[in-house]
Amino acid sequence: MLLKDKVAIVTGAGRGWGQSVALAYARQGAKVIVVSRTQSEIDHTIALIKAEGGQAVGKSIDVSNDAALQAFHDWVMQTYGRLDILVNNAAVLILKDFEELSQQEIDLTLNINLRAVIVMTKLFLQDMVKQGGGSIINVSSNAGVSGFEKESIYSTCKFGLEGFTKSIAMEIRKHNIAVNTITPGGMSAGVRIKPTSLIQEAYDALPENEKKQWVDSIVSTEAFIFLGLQDGSGVSGERIMAYELSEQIRKEGWQLKYQPYQA
């Protein structure tokens, strides 16, 4: 098992991509901490992991609440004493024209999609420095390099996430810590990975011909495992295309020589 006994946090792991990553990490032997706002979704993810013999615990947290994040950090350190992998995946997407957005919706998106990533990283970075290494994985989007209609604040957050990641990657490599962004990818191969925002109930209600446009996000999780194996001596400061890298791993194995994917 590639991640045996590593401690990994996956935020937004109650469904979609986050759930797939949590399951993939558990399959590789990691001790997974499932984070979501919704307890029922946490319970479902944990049940999937434990059904396969994996290890997982869950915490219901509002990642936009600093006090909740501090308490969560303290619990992780008291319980496990370390953190090897931090996957910042939790996000919200409010599809509206900018002029229609309320201040509350703007603040919510900024707080969850960008500020919470920065705060969570700040809290756990000190522990990774002390233990001598780790991997931070920030989930981005094509909205982080291109603006999209009705996604002005979401895009703002993802652009910010890309800059934050590249900047701290240069600072923390000396501490043997890797930090990268990752996006679904797959579009060049005609693959559309089911988005986290498409909840299972909504997906189940779609007509069969519409369901066929999406593939299960588990097909892109090898890339997350690969990044979970990185430290300051490996891949850091990169923007990873998850489906493309996962396909490369399936073809070449885990000893592949990573080359940045050119879209």
Active site residue 258: no
Contacts of 57 (CB under 8 A, 6+ apart): 31, 32, 33, 34, 46
As a dihedral over the C-alpha atoms of residue 217, residue 222, residue 228, residue 234, rounded to 10 degrees, the angle is: -130
List the catalytic residue out of 25, 80, 154, 261: 154
Residues belonging to the active site: 154
